[in-house]
C-alpha cells in the first residue's frame, strides 16, 4: 500500500510540475509578447508621424510643381534671387533698418513720399 501511494504521489507531483512549467512558460510568453507589442506600438506611432510629415512635404512639393511654370512664380524668383524690378518700380535699400523700427505706418508713408519726391 505504501509503495502504491508513493507511486501515485510521484505521478501527481510530476503532473503538477509539468502543468506549472507550462503555466510559467505561458505567462513568460505573454509578458514577452506584451513588451514586443509596446515596442511595435511605439514604432507604429513614430512611423505614422513620419508619414504625416512626408505627406505634408509631398503636398507642398506638388503645389510648388504646379506653380513653377507660371509667370508669378518666375517673377517671384527673379525678384528674390536676381533683384528684378519692373520699369516703373523704385528700389529702396535701407542701411540702418533698426533706426526705422519706431515709425508708424503713417510716418512710413510720409518718408516714402519724400524719398520719391527727392528722386524726381
Q: 65-104: per-residue pLDDT in tens?
A: 888 878 888 888 888 888 888 888 888 777 777 777 778 8
Tell me how far apart the alpha carbons of residues 56 and 64 are, in angstroms, rounded to a whole number: 12
* Average pLDDT score over the chain: 82
Query: Rg of the chain's alpha carbons, rounded to an integer?
Result: 39
List the grid coordinates of 5. 501511494
Counting beta carbons within 10 angstroms of the beta carbon of residue 105, is it exposed (0 to 12), middle (13 to 18) or buried (19 or more)?
exposed
List the grid coordinates of 108. 512710413
pTM for this entry: 0.39
Q: What percent of the chain has pLDDT over 90?
A: 13
- Give residue for cell 505614422: 48
120 pLDDT tier (thresholds 50, 70, 90): low
CA angle 108, 110, 116 (to 5 degrees): 100
Q: What is the mean pLDDT of residues 24-38?
A: 80
Tell me how far apart the alpha carbons of residues 10 and 18 are, in angstroms, rounded to a whole number: 12
Longest Cα separation, the chain:
128
Amino acid at each position: 500500500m505504501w509503495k502504491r501511494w508513493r507511486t501515485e504521489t510521484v505521478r501527481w507531483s510530476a503532473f503538477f510540475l509539468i502543468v506549472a512549467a507550462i503555466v510559467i512558460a505561458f505567462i513568460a510568453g505573454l509578458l514577452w509578447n506584451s513588451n514586443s507589442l509596446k515596442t511595435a506600438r511605439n514604432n507604429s506611432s513614430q512611423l505614422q508621424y513620419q508619414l504625416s510629415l512626408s505627406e505634408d512635404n509631398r503636398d507642398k512639393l506638388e503645389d510648388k510643381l504646379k506653380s513653377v511654370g507660371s509667370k508669378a512664380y518666375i517673377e517671384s524668383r527673379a525678384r528674390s534671387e536676381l533683384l528684378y524690378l519692373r520699369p516703373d518700380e523704385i528700389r529702396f535699400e535701407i542701411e540702418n533698418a533698426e533706426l526705422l523700427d519706431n515709425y508708424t505706418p503713417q510716418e512710413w508713408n510720409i518718408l516714402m513720399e519724400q524719398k520719391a519726391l527727392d528722386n524726381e
